[in-house]
Amino acid sequence: MLVPRQMLTRALHIRHIRQSSTSAAALIKDYDETPLTYLEGFPKPDPKHAETIHALPRGLSGKNISAKERKAGRVPSIVFEQEDGQHGGNKRLISVQNNQIKKLVNHLGTSYFLSRLFDLEVRADVGSDDVIEKVRVLPRLLHLHAATDAVLNVTFVRAPSHALLKVDVPLVFIGDDVSPGLKKGSYLNIIKRTAKFICPADIIPPFIEVDLSELDAGQKLVMGDLKVHPALKLARSKDEPICKIAGARASLEQKKSK
């Protein structure tokens, strides 16, 4: 028999679950009824970089299996469903082509690869037309060899339209040519090169611009200063610093004259 305190704790826990489930369902329903689109003035993914990643099913996992896959020119990978921003259920073991992933990473760069959506097509076997699963995914983790940068494994999460995905979006710094502080001889101290946002899957930005054009010496920009689609939500504090215009460079001539 539950004592009063235990009963109260249990009741609050059940109410929290029900409220969370109702809110999540309402949010998904809104997305289904009103698809989100990219807005003018914000970066959109370049369609020329769109590519379907080809994969094969993988029945087993383990060090020996992974070694055999890599020897055959494939990269051991996993596709997850995302739940509450974390890797959840509906796990599928797959292998992707090493050459294709290496080409994408080299072409886009690691940060841009990990913030871009791809179509993923899982076929029954090499050369088979039997498609087991075709789904849109977001690369979540990329494991590279420390010495050679060879791709060791990749983790993907499914990205249907209703999904809310945590994404480290690359930051692109602009306006440095007209920044008052930089013109005076100060220098740009970059603290963050990505910003973590919770993004509806249909409007993940390829990058976010950080405008330095009005920054003077001693001034800084924080996460809350970033201009993004209103449906994007910061996953961290809005006061977290991004960059600062710091100090002033003394010329070699000035040093020599002293």
C-alpha distances in angstroms, 118 versus 50, 101, 122, 159, 181? 7, 11, 13, 9, 40
Q: Which of 50, 79, 205 is nearest to 139 (CA)?
A: 79
**DSSP class of 251:** P
Contacts of 159 (CB under 8 A, 6+ apart): 117, 135, 136, 137, 138, 165, 201
C-alpha distances in angstroms, 209 versus 64, 111, 119, 166, 249? 44, 15, 26, 18, 26
Angstrom distance (rounded) from CA 237 to CA 210 = 17
pLDDT at 73: 93
pLDDT at 107: 94
pLDDT at 34: 63
Q: For the chain, what percentages of helix, strand and coil (3-state, to nearest 5) are there? A: 30, 35, 40
**Low-confidence residues in the chain, pLDDT < 70:** 1-34, 82-89, 248-258
pLDDT at 79: 94
State whether residue 173 is helix, strand or coil: strand
pLDDT at 128: 84
Please identify which residue in the block is written with the tokens 């910003």: 195
Q: What is the DSSP string of 41-89?
A: TS----GGG--EEEEEE----SHHHHHHHHHTTEEEEEEE-EETTEE-S
pLDDT at 30: 44
pLDDT at 12: 37
pLDDT at 29: 44
Q: pTM of the predicted model, to two decimals?
A: 0.78
Q: Which of 145, 152, 139, 153 is nearest to 51 (CA)?
A: 139
Pairing of strands 74-80, 208-211: unpaired
pLDDT at 199: 96
- Domains present along the chain, CATH in parentheses: 52-160 (2.40.240.10), 166-249 (2.170.120.20)
Angstrom distance (rounded) from CA 117 to CA 10 = 40
Please identify which residue in the block is written with the tokens 């072409």: 107
Contacts of 35 (CB under 8 A, 6+ apart): 161, 202
Angstrom distance (rounded) from CA 79 to CA 91 = 6
**DSSP class of 91:** -
Q: Which of 46, 42, 39, 93 is nearest to 69 (CA)?
A: 93
Structure tokens at 46: 């370049």
